[in-house]
Amino acid sequence: MTAYYNEIDPYAAQWLRNLIARGHIAAGEVDERSIEDVRPDDLRGFTQCHFFAGIGGWPLAFRLAGWPDDRPVWSGSAPCQPFSAAGEGLGFADERHLWPLYFHLIKERRPSEIYGEQVAAAAKWLILVRSDLEALGYAVGAMPIEAASAGADHFRDRYFFMGHANGSRKLQPERPIAKQWGRPAHDGLRSMVDAPGFGWGEGWTEHEFRSRGFAAAVASIDGCQYVECPDGKWRRLPPPRVRWLGNGIPARVAKLRALGNAIDPRPAAAFIRAAREAIE
């Protein structure tokens, strides 16, 4: 067993065990305790440690990026509810702001590399994370990525970050990540987006779109939103705040909650590859 997984939700924890049993993620131990009960010594002997592990999005992303199971790394995407637009907006005052507990383990164990993500609206949270990690001597890199730019049919816009223990300079990829994926220019489609008849859709102005760090082109046609993907195709996005009921699916509430809290491994894998390139 090379990996340690910490996940407090029993349903998601069993999902992790199923993925391990099928060989989809690194073999390891699933710990259902709260992170506040985890002690630094509990992590001795593990090559990889994944906190707030959910249904294994980060471990899968590492495999997609070509990261061997026996290569040391930590991952952790702390709960987004304190900073999400769909939450209560309590921010650092929310009891689910668990970065300080996670940071304590990082401080005591000093992993060589750390990866994580947070909702794109949590800029102040990211400032805290960067400050804490840099105070320990980590080189820190971060960038906003929407999942649609990595082949997904949805936004799921997130800040991805990483910390590298061997250095103090900030990491910046030498070329934009969209170019790395070979995205063509599509000048014709870009001009179509700028046409007055398309607009930007209810609740989405161009300014709001750009201010959140989105790089892909977006257009609205007859009230439906479309995003330009890396392969040059335009794909329709679901309306905001849609709640899928999944009628007829066994244990659908637990499954949808687990999926809703999961990260999309595709942009995570792209970020891992870009970060490794910047380091190497």
pLDDT tens profile 72-88? 999 998 876 666 655 56
More confident residue, 129 or 193: 129
CA–CA separation, 175 and 154 (whole Å): 24
Q: What is the CATH classification number for the domain harbouring 39?
A: 3.40.50.150
- Shared domain for 157 and 111, answered yes or no, is yes
For the residues 172-186, what does the mean pLDDT come to? 35
Residues 35 and 246 sit within 8 Å (Cβ to Cβ): no
Other beta carbons within 10 Å of 191: 9
The SS3 assignment for 197 reads coil
User: Domain range for residue 219?
Assistant: 179-236
Phi, psi torsion values for 53, nearest 5 degrees: -70, -20
- Shared domain for 153 and 92, answered yes or no, is yes
- Shared domain for 46 and 83, answered yes or no, is yes
The whole model's pTM is what? 0.69
Q: How many domains does the chain have?
A: 2
- Of 103-107, 110-114, 192-196, 212-216, minimum mean pLDDT range: 192-196
Mean pLDDT computed over every residue of the chain: 76
Residues 26 and 59 sit within 8 Å (Cβ to Cβ): yes
Query: Residues with Cβ < 8 Å from 129, sequence gap 6 or more?
Result: 99, 103, 116, 118, 140, 161
pLDDT value for 76? 93
For 58-97, give one letter per residue: b (16+ CB within 10 A) or e: bbbbbbebebebeeebbbbbbbbbbbeeebeeeeeeeeeb
Q: Answer whether residue 241 is part of any domain.
A: no
pLDDT at 185 over 80: no
- Shared domain for 127 and 187, answered yes or no, is no
- Of 15-19, 63-67, 187-191, 222-226, minimum mean pLDDT range: 187-191
pLDDT value for 237? 65
